[in-house]
Structure 1
Amino acid sequence: MSDRSANEQSARDRSANEQGVGTPGAGVPSAPPGRGPGEDFLDGLERILADAAPTGRRLTRDEIESRRALGARAAEAGHGWRSLVRAHLVAGRENWPRGADPDRVLAVVEQAVDAFADGYERAQRLVVRKEEAARREFIDDLLHGRGDRGQLAARSERFGLRLSRAHAVAVAEGPEKYDETDPVPRQVAADLFARFENRRILFTTKDGRMVCIAPGDQDDVLAHFAKRSYAATGRAQVAIGRSRPGTVGIGHSYEEALNALDVAQRMGLDEPLLRASDLLVFPVLARDRQALVDLVSSTLGPLEQARGGARPLLDTLTAYFDTGCVAASTARRLSLSVRALTYRLARVRTLTGVDPTDPVDRYTLQTAVIGARLLDWPTRPLSSTEAAP
C-alpha cells in the first residue's frame, strides 16, 4: 500500500472512531437531555433551596404561593402525582446546597412539596367537579331529549356511549332516595362495572333513583342491574324501557321506564322487575284520559252510594279479577266467606247494572276497575283527574 493510501485510510479510521462507527451505542450525537415528567413544574425550586436551606428558614408566603400555582398547573396538565414527587426528590438531591444541614434541606423540600400538593389537590378537585358537572349536564340532556343531536352524539363518546346504536334504559326505585355518593349506588355501580367492564354502559342517579343505560341488544346488563339493585336495597323495583334507536330513543326509553314504575304503584304491582313492553295496555288506556274518566264515572260511580262508600266494593272487584274470577280464591284473599263475597258481587250488579259474573259485562267492568286504579279513584275525585295533564 502506498504512503498516500495509508494516510487516507488512517484519516478514514480516525473519522470513523470519532463518529463511533463500528462501536455499539456510539456515533449517535448525545442531544441535551430533555426535561423529564414533572420537571416543567420545578421552576424556582433551585433558588428556594439555595436561599432557605443554609439558614433553615421557613418558606415565605410568595414562595408557598408559587409552589401552589405550579401544583395547580401540573394537575390541569394531567401529570401523575408519583412522577411529580419523584421530580422534586431528584431536584432536591441535584441542587443540594454545599455544606447544608441535611435536616434543613429536607425541611425545605418538605414545605415545597406540601405547598405543591395543596395546589395540585385543589385543582384536581376543581377538575373533578367540572367533569362531574359536564357529565350530569350530558345525562340530563340525554334523558330529556334536550340539545343538538349531533353535539349529544359527539359528547356521548366521552362518557362511553355510541348513540348510533339502539339503547334501553332501566330505572331502579328503592325505599330511599339516592345520589351517586351514597353507599347503595356505589355498590351497584361497582358490581355492574366489575362484571361488564368492557361494555359501553352508563350508570347514574336521577331524582333519587338509580339509572342504567345499555345497548339494546345487551339485556343481560340491565337484568344484572335489576338484580344487584334489588340485592343492595332489599326491595327495589326496577323498570326497563323498550330498546330505541338514536339520541331521542334514550329519552323515550327512560320515560317508559318511569311510566312503568308509576303504573306499578297505581296498580299495586309488586314484581321486582317490570318491562314496559309488558305493560303497554295501561298507557293505551290512559292515553285518552277524558274517555277513561267517563268510563270510570259511568260504570263505577254508582258504587259511591253503597254503605261505606265505593272502596270496599272496588277492592272486592279488584281481588275478583286478579284471581281470575274464582270466587273461592277471592274470598280467601279478602278473608271473607264465599257467601259474603257473593253478596258483594250482587250488590255491585244492583248498583251499577253490570254483572261481574257475566262474561259479556265482565270486560267493561274490569277495564273500568283498571282505569280507577290508574286514576287513583276514589281516593282522588274524578273531577280533579279531568283537569290533570
Structure 2
Amino acid sequence: MSDDNWLAANCQDLLYVPASTRRQAAVNLGARAADEGLTLRELVTGLLDATTAHWNATPVASTDTAVAVHSRAETLLDTARVLLTDAVDGYTRQNRAELDRHDNERATFVNDLLTGRADPGGLAERAHRYGIRLSATHTVLIARAAGLTSGITHRIDAVLASRFGEGNTLTTLRDGDLVCISAGGLRGIAAELAHLLLTELGTGNWQIAVGRTQPGVHGLATSLDEARQTLDYAVRLGFSTPVLNAADLLVFPVLLRDRDAITDLVTTVLGPLTTARGGAAPYLETLTVLFDNQGNHTATARQMHLSVRAITYRLDRIRDLTGYHPGEATQRFTLQTAVLGARLLGWPP
C-alpha cells in the first residue's frame, strides 16, 4: 500500500474509533506518519480529507432540520480538531525522539573520533556512514557561544552540508561548543560558519577557532586541541576577533612550553611596574593597546580615551621603572613578549 493510500485509510478509520481510545489512536497515527517519512503537511491534509469524505458520506435525511445538520457538522469539526491536535503532537514527539537519537549517535561518533578510544574497525565503518575518510586530511573548527542549542546546530549543519556538499562537513554539539569537522582544503568554511552564527546569535556573542588541517585520525584530535587552545588563549589574552586561526597563534604554546622561563621574563622585565602608584595594571593596559595599534600613539590614546601626552608620560614612566621602552627597536620585542606572557599567566594576580 502506498503512503497516500495507507494514510487515507487510517485517517478514515480514525473517525470511527471509539471516543475512549480515539485520542491515543490519533497520537499513534501521527507517530507512525513520522516514522514513515511523511511530512506534517501530508498528515494534516490526510486528516482534513478524511473529515470531508466522512461528511460527504453521511446523507442528510429529508426529516433533518437545519439545527440538526448544523449540530452534526459542529460535532464532526470538534472531533477533527481534537484528532488533528493529537496527531500533530504524536508526529512532533516522534520526530523529536528520532532527532535526539540521531544527535546522540552523532555526538558519540564525534567524541570517539576525536578521542581515538573506539575500535578502529568500527570507527571506520561509522565514519563511512557520515562520509568521512579517516585517511584523508580534515580541519576542526570550534564555535563557542552562549545560547547554542541543538536546533541552531541542526540548521547550521544543514546549511553547511548544502553549501559544501554532503560528507564534506559534520557539525554537532560537544561539551557546549559547536564542533565542525570539515574535509581538508574546503575554502570559505570559517567565513560561512561565521555568517550563520551571526544570523542565529547576532554580533559579539560568539567566537570561532580554526585548527590546522591535519591528516588521519590523530590529526583530527590535534586539530581539535589546537582550536580549543586557541579559544582559551583568546579569553586569556582578551582577543575579540570573531574568527581566529590556530596557525596565527603558534607563538603562545611556545611561550608556555617553558613556564619557568616565561615567568622569569615577566617578573624580571615587568616586575618593577608593581611599585608604581596604582600598580602595574594601567601600564600593562597601555602597552597592550599600543602593541595592538602597531605602536601608534594617537590611535592608542583614542582607544584608551586619553591624551597623547598621557600616553607618552606612561611610556616614559615604564622606561624609568623597567629600563625598557617600546620605542627602542632592540627592546620592543622583549617588552611585547613579556606583556603577552603576563596576559597568558594572568600576571599580576
Q: Same fold (TM over 0.5)?
A: yes
> What SS does the aligned partner of 1:324 have?
coil
> What SS does the aligned partner of 1:345 have?
helix
Q: Name the stretch that deviates more: 305-314 or 65-74.
A: 65-74
- Pair 1:306-2:295 in alignment: no
- Pair 1:354-2:319 in alignment: no
**Counterparts of 2:289 and 2:92 in 1: how far apart (Å)?**
61
> What SS does the aligned partner of 2:327 have?
coil
Give me the TM-score of the superposition, normalised by structure 2.
0.71
Could you tell me which residue of structure 2 aligns to residue 152 of structure 1?
123
One of 254, 258, 261 as aligned partner of 1:288? 258
The 1:351/1:194 distance shift into structure 2, 3 A limit, reads same
Identity in percent? 41
What amino acid is aligned across from residue 295 of structure 1 in structure 2?
L
How far has the Cα of 1:357 moved from its partner?
A: 3.1
How far has the Cα of 1:211 moved from its partner?
A: 2.7
Could you tell me which residue of structure 2 aligns to residue 344 of structure 1?
314
One of 234, 251, 266 as aligned partner of 2:203? 234
How far has the Cα of 1:201 moved from its partner?
A: 1.0
Larger Rg: 1
How far has the Cα of 1:38 moved from its partner?
A: 10
**Counterparts of 1:161 and 1:345 in 2: how far apart (Å)?**
54
CA-atom RMSD, angstroms?
A: 4.5
Could you tell me which residue of structure 2 aligns to residue 263 of structure 1?
233
Asked whether the equivalents of residues 292 and 371 of structure 1 are also in contact (C-alpha less than 8 Å), the reply is yes
- Pair 1:200-2:168 in alignment: yes
Q: Name the stretch that deviates more: 125-134 or 211-220.
A: 125-134
Unmatched segments (≥5 aa) in structure 2 = 7-12, 50-57, 61-75
> What SS does the aligned partner of 1:169 have?
strand
Could you tell me which residue of structure 2 aligns to residue 139 of structure 1?
110
The 1:230/1:149 distance shift into structure 2, 3 A limit, reads farther
Equivalences, count: 326
Could you tell me which residue of structure 1 aligns to residue 64 of structure 2?
none
- Pair 1:218-2:186 in alignment: yes
Could you tell me which residue of structure 2 aligns to residue 252 of structure 1?
222
What amino acid is aligned across from residue 109 of structure 2 in structure 1?
F
Could you tell me which residue of structure 2 aligns to residue 369 of structure 1?
339
The 1:36/1:140 distance shift into structure 2, 3 A limit, reads same
Q: Name the stretch that deviates more: 222-231 or 248-257.
A: 222-231
How far has the Cα of 1:169 moved from its partner?
A: 1.6
How far has the Cα of 1:165 moved from its partner?
A: 1.6
What is the 5 A alignment of 1:85-100?
none
Asked whether the equivalents of residues 139 and 211 of structure 2 are also in contact (C-alpha less than 8 Å), the reply is yes
**Counterparts of 2:91 and 2:282 in 1: how far apart (Å)?**
67
Could you tell me which residue of structure 2 aligns to residue 93 of structure 1?
none
What is the 5 A alignment of 1:75-154?
126-154=97-125
Could you tell me which residue of structure 1 aligns to residue 293 of structure 2?
323
**Counterparts of 2:24 and 2:121 in 1: how far apart (Å)?**
43
**Counterparts of 2:189 and 2:173 in 1: how far apart (Å)?**
17
Unmatched segments (≥5 aa) in structure 1 = 1-34, 41-47, 90-99, 382-389
What amino acid is aligned across from residue 317 of structure 1 in structure 2?
L
> What SS does the aligned partner of 1:286 have?
helix
Asked whether the equivalents of residues 212 and 222 of structure 1 are also in contact (C-alpha less than 8 Å), the reply is no
Give CA deviations for 1:152-199 in whole Å, capped at 9, x if unaligned: 22212223323222111222234x2311224xx455444433423445
Asked whether the equivalents of residues 177 and 208 of structure 1 are also in contact (C-alpha less than 8 Å), the reply is no
**Counterparts of 1:79 and 1:323 in 2: how far apart (Å)?**
57
Asked whether the equivalents of residues 26 and 90 of structure 2 are also in contact (C-alpha less than 8 Å), the reply is yes
The 1:186/1:126 distance shift into structure 2, 3 A limit, reads closer
The 1:65/1:101 distance shift into structure 2, 3 A limit, reads farther
